Amino acid sequence: MDPRNQDEEVAMRLDGSIGIVTGGAQGIGAATAQRLAREGATVIVTDVLDDKGHALATSLALEGHGVSYRHLDVTDEAAWEALVSEVRAEHGRLSFVVNNAGIGTLEGVEDETVEGWQRTTDINQKGVFLGMKHGGRAIRESGGGAIVNLSSIFGAVGGFGGSIAYHASKGAVRLMTKSAAIAWAKQGVRVNSVHPGFIDTPMIEQVKDSPVGEVLTASTPMGRLGRPEEIAAAIAFLVSDDASYMTGSEVYVDGGWTAQ
């Protein structure tokens, strides 16, 4: 069966909600910003790729969606505090944060450097911690909402035995999600993680047409890469009230990869 047509009508499940998507200039983040906006949310797209982020926000705004762009390096705590204050001052509340920003690494246990490890940990792990800390508090004080953290299939299993820092950071995201979910379970802040398989975004561009790329497709039971829109659909569900009894859950969108 073909992947769902992205131009199909979607339900307006997020009308009146306002939230932040990190790393939203391209890939899964951009597809998520678009999907959430199409469902009626006001979306603040953030990234460090300012030209791409502005271009995406402008094109979605021209289609009539409530989307704007702000520069946010997810590792910068002061910048997180400033952004959350600005959103609350402008919109009066915060309903959701999608902690999507991340970097991929390939180095295995013998090849990874301490610098590489630290950079991956800073962006993929500390970035999610800061998004939950500052975004989650604002969501709680706004009366409740949802946080979705992007982990990976590599946050749950050892994969091909490489990418040691990436596995560590994504495993941390999986468990930080559960810790925060329990902390806020009675306070209306739901926190869930999404675990994509191999998705056709700029992140895997470097390996897509190489033998490694062939392995990604061949090792996936469905025999193809996923589309960013297929991850965005799961994220939109978790942000919406359709997921009102889900917190601390991990949702795999991986073409069957972890079922093997």
Stretch that binds ligand NAD, among 27-35, 90-98, 138-146, 178-186 (CB under 6 A): 27-35
CA nearest neighbour of 130 among 184, 93, 71, 76: 76
**DSSP-based three-state secondary structure for 250:** strand
Q: DSSP characters for 60-121? A: HHHTT--EEEEE--TT-HHHHHHHHHHHHHHHS---EEEE---------TTT--HHHHHHHI
Residues 178-237 that bind ligand NAD (CB under 6 A): 196, 198-199, 201-204
23 touching ligand NAD, by CB under 6 A:
yes
* Least gap, CB of 74 to ligand NAD (angstroms): 4
Stretch that binds ligand NAD, among 17-25, 56-64, 105-113, 239-247 (CB under 6 A): 17-25
* Least gap, CB of 195 to ligand NAD (angstroms): 7
Mask for 168-187, x = binds ligand NAD (CB under 6 A):
--------------------
Which of 25/238 has CB closer to ligand NAD? 25
Strand 42-47 with 67-71, pairing? parallel
Active site residue 166: yes
**DSSP-based three-state secondary structure for 235:** helix
Q: Which tokens sit at 195? A: 């675990």
Mask for 36-75, x = binds ligand NAD (CB under 6 A):
-----------xxx----------------------xxxx
Say how many C-beta atoms besides its own lie within 10 A of residue 108's C-beta.
Answer: 14
Within the chain, residue ranges assigned H as helices are 27-38, 50-62, 77-91, 114-120, 127-130, 137-141, 164-183, 202-208, 211-218, 228-239
Residues 78-117 that bind ligand NAD (CB under 6 A): 100-104
Stretch that binds ligand NAD, among 24-32, 61-69, 232-240, 243-251 (CB under 6 A): 24-32
Cross-strand bridge partners of residue 147: 97, 191
Q: Which residues are catalytic?
A: 166
* Interacting residues toward ligand NAD by CB under 6 A: 22-23, 25-29, 47-49, 72-75, 100-104, 123, 150, 152, 196, 198-199, 201-204
